[in-house]
A = this chain, B = another copy of it.
Amino acid sequence: MNVVRVGFIELWVRDLERSLAFYQGLLGFRLERREGGVAYLRGYEELEWSLKLKEAPFPAVRALGFKVASEEDLSALKAFAEERGLPHALESDWGRPRILRLQDPFGYPLAFYFQAEKLPRVLQRYHEHRGPGILRIDHLNVFSPEVAEAVRFYREALAFRLTEYTEDEEGRLWAAWLHRKGNVHDLAFTNGEGPRLHHFAYWLPDALSILRAADILAGAMETDRIERGPGRHGISNAMFLYLKDPDGHRIELYTSDYLTVDPDHPPLRWSLNDPRRQTLWGHRTPKSWFLEGSPFLDLEDRPLPTRASSLEGMPQHVI
Contacts and interface: CB of A to CB of B under 8 A. Distances in A.
Contact of A211 (B123, B136, B232, B261): B232
A157 interface: no
A315 interface: no
9 contacts: A5-B259, A5-B262, A47-B262, A114-B263, A124-B234, A182-B182, A211-B232, A218-B234, A218-B282
Interface stretch (A8-16, A141-149, A187-195, A200-208): A200-208
Interface of A: 4-5, 26, 45, 47, 67, 69-70, 114-116, 118, 121, 123-129, 135-136, 181-182, 205-208, 211-212, 214-220, 223-224, 226, 230-232, 234, 237, 239, 256, 258-259, 261-266, 268, 275-276, 280-283, 319
Given A217-B281, A232-B211, A123 B237 contact: yes
B205 A256 contact: yes
Contact of A223 (B208, B258, B262, B275): B275
A234 B221 CA distance: 12
Q: Number of copies of this chain in the oligomer?
A: 4
B215 A232 contact: yes
Nearest to A73: B263
A226 to B, nearest CB: 5
A315 B77 CA distance: 49
Nearest to A123: B237
B206 A263 contact: no
A232 B218 contact: yes
A128 B208 CA distance: 17
Nearest to A48: B262
Give 8 closest A-B pairs by Cβ, nearest first. A223-B282, A126-B219, A126-B215, A127-B219, A127-B220, A206-B206, A218-B280, A182-B182
A206 to B, nearest CB: 4
A261 B181 contact: yes
Given A45-B259, A282-B226, A207 B218 contact: no
